[in-house]
Structure 1
Amino acid sequence: MHEEPLLQVKHLNKQFGPGCSHCHQVESRNLKKNYCPHCGTVYACQDVSFELFSGEILGIVGESGSGKSTMMQCLYFDADVTSGAAYINDPELEGKNVFDLSSQKKRYIRNHKYGMVYQNPVNGLKMNFSSVGNIAEKLIAAGNRNVTDMETTSKTLLEGVHIPLFRMKQEPRNFSGGMQQRVQIAKALSNNPPILFLDEVTTGLDLSVQANVLDLIKNIQRELGISMIVVSHDLAVIRMLADRTVVMLNGSVIEEGLTDQILEDPQHAYTQELVYSLL
């Protein structure tokens, strides 16, 4: 029985700049890393394709500038793609390229199908709203109007991410980095999304706090069976979380496979370097 992927991304391209005669043609493109030295166009994502299956954590690893965060922004509609397609396995969206949908429909997907945890909590939270207010905002966007329901849901979520309830009326700007990330995770989970995006969520956190956040993510995945895409430049994070891993370099996918297989037998020279730096 062949399982249908929950999310399929096909030939995603994102460029910054108009391109020129030197870089328009993919075959003859002569880039420095991922930018054209002639016109300065950056090819942040080049023909990126992958699949995400139900209940799995897919890791996307690569150095800074490899295109992984840009790819995530495109998927979450924070940035427009240059070209490409993405399909969600959902009766309402069957066979529809989500990049081509109206902004209203994209907003619906963001509010009902996706959750997003940004590297910088400032992008995912309103710092001058209370923690409960942040979660309520996401619930209202998803069509919830019942205040009692929203408060109950918010409490359950905050408890689930280990935020003490006596602090739930406080603003995230008064929280530590680790706590802000946990509030962001609670907010992202509030609409029960089938797909959760996590972009460099442990960067800048102390090691012990990182471990707590990673444990939390692992437990949420186990309990709720949500499918996740985890982007990181840190292979140790990917090793702890991901079932399968995609390796990106200069905007392209250079290797993919089961995480264990990639860690034990990396094929590409860049992946080998990444793995040896872990040892």
Structure 2
Amino acid sequence: MLEQPVLTVRNLSKQYGEGCEHCVDTQTQLEKNYCPVCKTIYACRDVSFDLYRGEILGIVGESGSGKSTLMKSLYFDETITSGEGYLADYENGETNIFTESNQMKRAIRNDILGMVYQNPMLGLKMNFSSLSNIAEKQIAAGNRHVRQMENRSYELLERVNIPLHRSKEAPKNFSGGMQQRVQIAKALSNNPPVLLLDEVTTGLDLSVQADVLDLIKQIQRELQISMIVVSHDLAVIRMLADRTIVMLNGQIIEHGLTDQVLEDPQHKFTQQLVYSLL
């Protein structure tokens, strides 16, 4: 019997604009993923993939390829135009999460998904203490035991190597690397089966990048969380991902085992991406 994916996405599309007769049906008149006639942007076009339990799936592509739109769509920060998504940990994977009510989507975000944004300001309240930031996600999921939440927050801060004497400090006082680690702690607070990480090392110094990547790898190994990691940096994907998807102009153009995609790229764009680093 085949293993059920923890997340299944089918034909996810997200467009900005109504579309017109030039682009709606065929999308052949597009410049990359943009219609020059009606100005519609097709950010994601028929994106389908599976994520398995305990797996890290990498998504690479140039700026504007649709990677971040896909992540925002999965976390309900964006409303998709069309498509289906199923989570094994929600309604036995039988209900399309994208057609659920806003209330149910909030519950899915709080209980099943964790998100680490490229910009920590999107994931953290910068003036609240780190402790309060982590507790906030637990409160949103219905936890009302103050001592329990406090202990969980301390435990997570310790896990992500934030000194406990700084737990009452606001993230605005922290370095970029520490802010990302607080975001990771917050995302993990309710033991989500799926963690989404969007360009989490962009803008960090190399040594700090290495620390954050080591932390992600360690957490995945210990907790067996399924992760989707978006990056334009192939070194990050090579280090973390079991399988990799390559996106271009809103579409998946190549996918496979990470080693296979990076060692023997089939699509011309992937070849350029890989060889530009050699």
What TM-score does the superposition give when structure 1 sets the normalisation length? 0.98
SS in 2 for 1:136: helix
Structure-2 residue corresponding to 1:65: 64
Structure-1 residue corresponding to 2:19: 19
SS in 1 for 2:221: helix
SS in 2 for 1:48: strand
Structure-2 residue corresponding to 1:125: 124
Structure-1 residue corresponding to 2:40: 41
SS in 2 for 1:11: strand
Shift of 1:107: 0.5
Within-5 A mapping of 1:22-171: 22-25=22-25, 27=26, 29-90=28-89, 92-171=91-170
- Provide the rounded CA distance (Å) in 2 between the counterparts of 1:205 and 1:50: 29
**8 A Cα contact 2:187 2:195, kept in partner:** yes
CA distances 1:91-139 after superposition (whole Å, capped 9, x unpaired): 6253110000011110000000000000000000000000000001001
Shift of 1:278: 2.2
Shift of 1:28: 5.1
Question: In structure 1, what residue type is equivalent to 2:12?
Answer: L
Structure 2 residue runs of 5 or longer lacking an equivalent are none
**8 A Cα contact 2:5 2:52, kept in partner:** yes
- Provide the rounded CA distance (Å) in 1 between the counterparts of 2:170 and 2:138: 18
- Provide the rounded CA distance (Å) in 2 between the counterparts of 1:105 and 1:186: 23
Structure-1 residue corresponding to 2:6: 6
Which of structure 1's runs of 4+ aligned residues deviate more than 4 A? none
Question: In structure 1, what residue type is equivalent to 2:184?
Answer: I
- Provide the rounded CA distance (Å) in 2 between the counterparts of 1:134 and 1:213: 19
RMSD: 0.8
What TM-score does the superposition give when structure 2 sets the normalisation length? 0.99
Question: In structure 1, what residue type is equivalent to 2:206?
Answer: L
CA distances 1:65-114 after superposition (whole Å, capped 9, x unpaired): 00010011011000000000000113625311000001111000000000
Question: In structure 2, what residue type is equivalent to 1:130?
Answer: S
Structure-1 residue corresponding to 2:274: 275
Shift of 1:159: 0.4
Within-5 A mapping of 1:115-264: 115-264=114-263
CA distances 1:210-239 after superposition (whole Å, capped 9, x unpaired): 010000000000000000000111111100
- Provide the rounded CA distance (Å) in 2 between the counterparts of 1:248 and 1:127: 32
**8 A Cα contact 2:89 2:112, kept in partner:** no
- Provide the rounded CA distance (Å) in 1 between the counterparts of 2:113 and 2:10: 18
- Provide the rounded CA distance (Å) in 2 between the counterparts of 1:271 and 1:114: 29
Shift of 1:2: 1.1
Q: Sequence identity, in percent?
A: 71
**8 A Cα contact 2:8 2:51, kept in partner:** yes
Structure 1 residue runs of 5 or longer lacking an equivalent are none
- Provide the rounded CA distance (Å) in 1 between the counterparts of 2:92 and 2:73: 18
SS in 2 for 1:278: coil
CA distances 1:175-226 after superposition (whole Å, capped 9, x unpaired): 0000000000000000000000000000000111001000000000000000
CA distances 1:29-66 after superposition (whole Å, capped 9, x unpaired): 31101100111100000000000000000000000000
SS in 1 for 2:276: helix
**8 A Cα contact 1:236 1:278, kept in partner:** no
- Provide the rounded CA distance (Å) in 2 between the counterparts of 1:129 and 1:78: 22
Total equivalences in the alignment:
278
Of 189-198 and 88-97, the range deviating more from structure 2: 88-97
**8 A Cα contact 1:113 1:195, kept in partner:** yes
- Provide the rounded CA distance (Å) in 2 between the counterparts of 1:241 and 1:116: 17
Question: In structure 1, what residue type is equivalent to 2:15?
Answer: Q
- Provide the rounded CA distance (Å) in 2 between the counterparts of 1:147 and 1:90: 26
